[in-house]
Structures are given as C-alpha cells and as structure tokens.
Structure 1
Amino acid sequence: MPEWGFVAPWEKVAELARIKPINAKAETVAASKLFGSSFKSRRCLVPVRCWYEWKPVAPGLKQPYALGRTDAEPITLGGIISLRRPHRDFPVELSLAIITTPAPESLADIHTRAPLVIGEADWSIWLGEVSGDPSGILERNTAGVMDAWPVSCAVNRTVTDGPGLVEPVEIEAAAITTEGNA
C-alpha cells in the first residue's frame, strides 16, 4: 500500500524529505520535475466514497464537509505513485499524490480545487492498458452530480475512523477553529 504524501524518487530518507505533497495540480503535473516521470508511467486509480474539505463558516472557524456523488456510488480518483529504493538492499517504497483540478462550480463555494475524478470509460487509458493520451483526461472531470454535506470535526483527528465520519451533522455543532482541532 502506498504511503500518503508523494516522496520524490531521489530522496534517500522519506522522513527527511523537504516536501511530501498530497496533491498535484492537473495543469502542471505532466511537466513538473517532481511529478512528471510518475505522470508518464506510474498513474493509479484511488477508489473512494467521498473526500473532505474545510469551509470557513465564521471568522476563525471552519466546518468540515464530505463531498461525494449524490447517488452515493463510489468515486475513482486519479493519482500518481512515486517508486523509491532508498538503498539497493531495501525494498521499493511507494508514495502517492492525488491529482486535483479546478472545482466544479457546484462545489467551488467549499473549495477552489477538487480531486480529478476519472470515469470507468477512461480507466484503461489512465492506467496505460490501452493506447491513448492520459493528458486529455486531466482536462475533464467526470465527477457526475456531486453533493456536499457538513460532517463531524472528528474527521480532523487521525485517531478517529469509521463509517460515522461521513454522516451529516449540524454546522453550528461542528465548527472548529482555524488554529487547530476541536
């Protein structure tokens, strides 16, 4: 399983990496020194039910939202993988970044960017199983009809997990300060 946060292939020690981005912009991913080789040959698909964004709701307060399809069907995000071998005696290490695009108009009031959603018809091109230009996929986001709903601030804590994290909540009860977790 890849590690969350893209580590450049030239980094010797992942923990000491200067940057570990979790996202790569669709507009620059192919030409980027950091992401370009992974975009060329190590693209992946990441199935999710939804993703989270934080929307300012008052001065100093943000509300987490889950964003997903209105029909609750799974979403497939486009990503890239970095392969690193810190030393010839060590196993290959994988890390991952999700590609982002400008957010669809329906979601732009929550966040200006959104993950690249890839429809099933494009999976084989994206994965390089058939010939085709994956760059064209970057220009379209096949998210379908998307919805957003406020969720618990527990999504902002790494120790919490479970299906209840995607359940809707009242906004006033869940707002968190921008300085940290609730």
Structure 2
Amino acid sequence: MCGRYGRRSDKQHIAEHYRLRDLREVPLEAGPDWNITPDSIQPVIRLGRDTGERELALLKWRLVPFWSKTPKPPFDTINARADKLLTSGSWREPFQRRRCLIPGEFFYEWEPIDKKTKQPYAVALTDDRLFSFGGIWDRWKDHNSGQVIESFAMITCDPNETMEAFHDRTPLIIEPRDYDRWLADVEPSHLPMDLVRTYPGEGMKAWKIAKLNGNGPHLLNPLPESPSTVLGLF
C-alpha cells in the first residue's frame, strides 16, 4: 500500500511538465506538499470531458465508486492493485474509461520491525525529478441531495529490487513519453495494459527517515547513517 506521497514542484513547474495551456487554471493547491494524506484534495491530470485536452482537476484521494450507496467506500480504496484492474467491480470501469496521472516526486512506505514498531522510508527516483503515479478516478453522485464527489486511487504493482527490501508493493509510475497513451480514451481491446508494470529498481532510491511529523522539507532528511544504507544507489 502507498499511503503517503509528496511534491516539491510549484504550479509553474507542474503546468510546464504536463503541457497545460493556461497557468491560470492551475490552483495554488497544486503546489508543494511534503505529506499528502488519504482523503485530502489533490491535483490529478486527466482529459477534459468537453475539450479532450489535458486538464488539472482537484480530486479526493480515496476513490468512491460510482455505484457506492454512500460517500464512504465499503473498503479501503486509496490504492488499486494492478492485478485486479480488469476484474474488480471498483476498478474495472474507471481503468477502462477514467485513467489519470498523479503528480509526485516522492512517496513514503513503512517497514515492519516488530508488532509495535515500523521504520519509515522515503522513496524517489534517482534523479529526483517530478513524475506521475498511474491512477484511476471516478465520479459519485448522491441522487437525493445532488452531492458530487470526484475521487481517485493510485495503482500499485509488485515491488522492484529497491522496494522489496522493506515493502511488498510499489506505486505504478508512468513515463512522460507514455502520458498520451495512458490518458487516451480507447476501446477495451486497446487498453494500455503494457504500461501497468513495475518501475525498474535501478531507477529508484529509498532511505530511512524519522517519523512523519508535520509538513515540510525536513520530512525527507535521512537518518544519520552511512550513505551506503541508501537503497537503490549502491
């Protein structure tokens, strides 16, 4: 499970990275955030319904399936397992019709040490660049009150060599060259299943950090250990 992630980039960098046409349409909430938690409202990139162009939308991180009877999902929906995208009643239609890109630059995972202790890790690409988690989104509406919730889930895959040292899943990462294919509205026979794959371990690094406390760049400070303990670099 990936339950926390973050961004350093400001709205200008995000707009340029995703080739968004109008910076004025990028809200301030799309900027830096070092401790993004489930149920918060976060930027995702999707195709606009009317324009067919990339747009930035603010969605809730915890997917509420369109068929849910209440705005609270019946189970944990912050992550969607890659191996269930075509079979799960919660993931199948969003994967076929509503894929999105989730801007990020790092994420956090926890290694169980014992029954009461977990060691947090920060994980990023080796070049520290802005990247995109692969995601799916959905639109839920209460037909009595008219309330609408647009929400998303992050897709997770089997771990790579860097991640498997301390965790059994890793988020799906979509490369910029594949953004158009990932977002495209296509027939079920042309779904981009080949892009649902584990990111190479040699392109990722992980390091131990202190307990997540607050929000800011300090959360990424490595514990005072030998640099050789940074996974994925040596």
| TM class by smaller structure | 0.7 to 0.9
Q: Secondary structure of the equivalent of 1:104?
A: coil
Which residue of the partner structure matches residue 218 of structure 2?
Answer: 164
2:193 aligns with 135
Q: 1:147 aligns with which of 197, 205, 208?
A: 205
- Residue number in structure 2 paired with 1:176: none
1:47 aligns with 2:103: yes
Alpha carbons 2:66, 2:138 under 8 Å: kept: yes
For residues 4-43 of structure 1, what are the structure 2 equivalents within 5 Å? 4-15=61-72, 17-43=73-99
Q: CA deviation at 1:141?
A: 2.9
Residue 130 of structure 1 and its aligned partner are, at CA, apart by 7.8
Q: Aligned partner of 1:161: which letter?
A: N
SS in 1 for 2:163: coil
Q: Secondary structure at the match of 1:165?
A: helix
Provide the rounded CA distance (Å) in 2 between the counterparts of 1:76 and 1:142. Answer: 15
CA RMSD, aligned part only? 2.3
Per the alignment, in what secondary structure is the counterpart of residue 155 of structure 2?
A: strand
Q: Secondary structure at the match of 1:38?
A: helix
The AA in structure 1 aligned to 2:66 is P
Please state how far the C-alpha of 1:152 moved relative to its aligned partner.
2.1
Of the three residues 109, 113, 120, the one matched with 2:176 is 120
Task: Report the more deviating stretch, 58-67 or 39-48.
Answer: 58-67
TM-score normalised according to structure 1 size: 0.81
C-alpha contact 1:118 1:137 (8 A) present in aligned 2: yes
Q: 1:87 to 1:170 in 2, by over 3 A?
A: farther
Q: Structure 1, residues 111-134: CA drift from partner, whole Å, max 9, x if none?
A: 111000111111101001688531
| Cα distance change on mapping 1:88 and 1:121 into 2, 3 Å | farther
Q: 4+ runs of 1 displaced by more than 4 Å?
A: 129-132
In structure 2, the CA distance between the partners of 1:75 and 1:110, relative to structure 1 (3 Å rule), is farther
CA distance in 1, matches of 2:210, 2:120: 7
Aligned sequence identity (%):
32
Which residue of the partner structure matches residue 120 of structure 2?
Answer: 64
SS at match of 1:125: helix
Query: What are the ranges of 5 or more consecutive residues in structure 1 without an aligned counterpart?
Result: 172-182
Looking at structure 2, the residues matched to 79 and 70 of structure 1 have their Cα atoms a distance apart, in angstroms, of: 22
C-alpha contact 2:64 2:71 (8 A) present in aligned 1? yes
Cα offset, 1:95, TM superposition: 1.2
TM normalised by structure 2 equals 0.64
Q: Out of 46-55 and 4-13, give the one that drifted further.
A: 4-13
Q: Is the 8 A contact 1:11 1:86 kept in 2?
A: no
Alignment match, 1:109: 165
- Gaps (5+ residues) in structure 2? 1-57, 226-234
Q: How far is the alpha carbon of 1:167 from its aligned partner? A: 1.8
2:158–2:198 Cα contact (<8 Å) kept: no
In the TM superposition, residue 93 of structure 1 has moved relative to its aligned partner by 1.2
Deviates more, 1:50-59 or 1:120-129: 50-59
Conservation of the 8 A alpha-carbon contact between 2:71 and 2:140: no
